[in-house]
């Protein structure tokens, strides 16, 4: 069975019979986990095994980037907000780059040891004081610094057997509105976005990032549609101009910033037609059921190949990771960073 173009969530810390039915549907390609799915390291490992038992090819992912966006606590290392590493970069760039690599490695190693394939990280947006949803989630305000730090973070993830997902193309840091609750509009010209916000994405594409996630933002100077529904952004600019060959995840189609159509089926159809390989649909099981019952799409072999490349690679088992000197050294470095923040 090939992976389908829908990524869904589950309700609790174990699979229900309804969850199993959904995950067995050929339109489903993966599962995104949230804090409600976490209880302990042992429970999470067991849940991941049960998901893979339904279908061994299903992708398992989570938003676990650090700072306020870290789904599993405690018993996982408390990861810093990326901006704290960026602040160190201004004074000790070599140390900050090393810290970014080690933080990316530790984040990925802790998740891979329990069976999670990947995290939606790193953030490639630019830091601005005005952004309610990004702000300290971003490494830095300067594109070159973001690119260098994100590439180091990605190198650490790859070293732990995890693919990376850069977000939110072409840049979410310059708008005030939160796309979870409203539709952000960025009035700037494409030339300005290319010169600033897009630079980290351009450079990470060149560095071989595995996947990207578009922003639920409208840039009216480029297209009237939000980026995740726009062929101009995804086909002409991302695939054409930047030459990106990896996977494109939609952001959550349940968010207010994605509500250009009332029907979740139509939202999924529009996202896939624009160039997304897989659509996230979270926290709305009724919408998932509607999409599974109403979405008719032909298999896209290239999308399936891209999805298969997102599977986690060989990793330390959890017992070995707990005893790892590298893990202990990174934890000490992060504790020191928190003490000087």
| Catalytic site positions | 180, 251
Of the chain, the end-to-end C-alpha distance in Å amounts to 49
From CA 90, how far away is CA 92, in angstroms rounded? 6
Sign of CA dihedral 214, 215, 216, 217: negative
Inter-residue contact 170 to 234 (CB < 8 Å): no
Inter-residue contact 8 to 31 (CB < 8 Å): yes
Using DSSP's 3-state secondary structure scheme, residue 97 falls into helix
Inter-residue contact 337 to 88 (CB < 8 Å): yes
From CA 265, how far away is CA 23, in angstroms rounded? 18
Sign of CA dihedral 149, 155, 159, 160: positive
Tokens of 98: 């090393």
Query: What is the phi/psi pair of residue 10, to 5°?
Result: -130, 165
For the chain, how many residues are written? Answer: 341
């Amino acid at each position: 069975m090939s992976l389908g173009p829908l990524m869904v969530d589950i309700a609790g810390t174990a699979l229900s019979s309804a969850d199993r039915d959904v995950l067995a549907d050929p339109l489903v390609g993966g599962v995104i986990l949230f804090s409600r799915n976490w209880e302990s390291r042992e429970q999470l490992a067991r849940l991941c095994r049960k998901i893979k038992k339904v279908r061994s090819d299903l992708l398992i992912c989570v938003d676990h980037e650090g700072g306020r966006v870290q789904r599993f606590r405690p018993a996982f290392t408390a990861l810093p907000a990326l901006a704290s590493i960026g602040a160190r970069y201004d004074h000790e760039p070599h140390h900050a780059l090393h810290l970014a690599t080690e933080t990316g490695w530790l984040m990925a190693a802790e998740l891979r040891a329990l069976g999670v394939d990947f995290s939606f990280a790193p953030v490639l947006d630019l830091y601005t004081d005005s952004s309610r949803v990004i702000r300290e989630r971003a490494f830095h305000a300067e594109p070159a610094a973001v690119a260098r730090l994100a590439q180091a973070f990605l190198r650490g993830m790859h070293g732990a057997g995890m693919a990376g997902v850069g977000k939110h193309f072409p840049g979410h840091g310059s708008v005030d509105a939160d796309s979870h609750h409203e539709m952000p509009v960025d009035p700037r010209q494409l030339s300005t976005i290319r010169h600033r916000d897009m630079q980290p994405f351009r450079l990470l594409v060149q560095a071989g990032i595995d996947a990207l996630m578009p922003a639920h933002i409208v840039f009216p100077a480029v297209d009237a549609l939000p980026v995740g529904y726009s062929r101009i952004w995804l086909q002409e600019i991302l695939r054409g101009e930047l030459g990106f060959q990896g996977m494109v995840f939609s952001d959550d189609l349940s968010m207010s910033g994605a509500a250009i159509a009332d029907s979740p089926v139509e939202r999924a159809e529009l996202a896939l037609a624009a160039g997304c390989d897989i659509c996230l649909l979270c926290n709305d099981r009724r919408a998932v059921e509607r999409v599974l019952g109403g979405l008719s799409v032909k298999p896209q072999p290239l999308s399936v190949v891209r999805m298969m490349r997102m599977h986690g690679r060989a990793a330390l088992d959890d017992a070995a990771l707990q005893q790892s000197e590298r893990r202990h050294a990174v934890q000490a470095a992060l504790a020191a960073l928190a003490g000087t923040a």
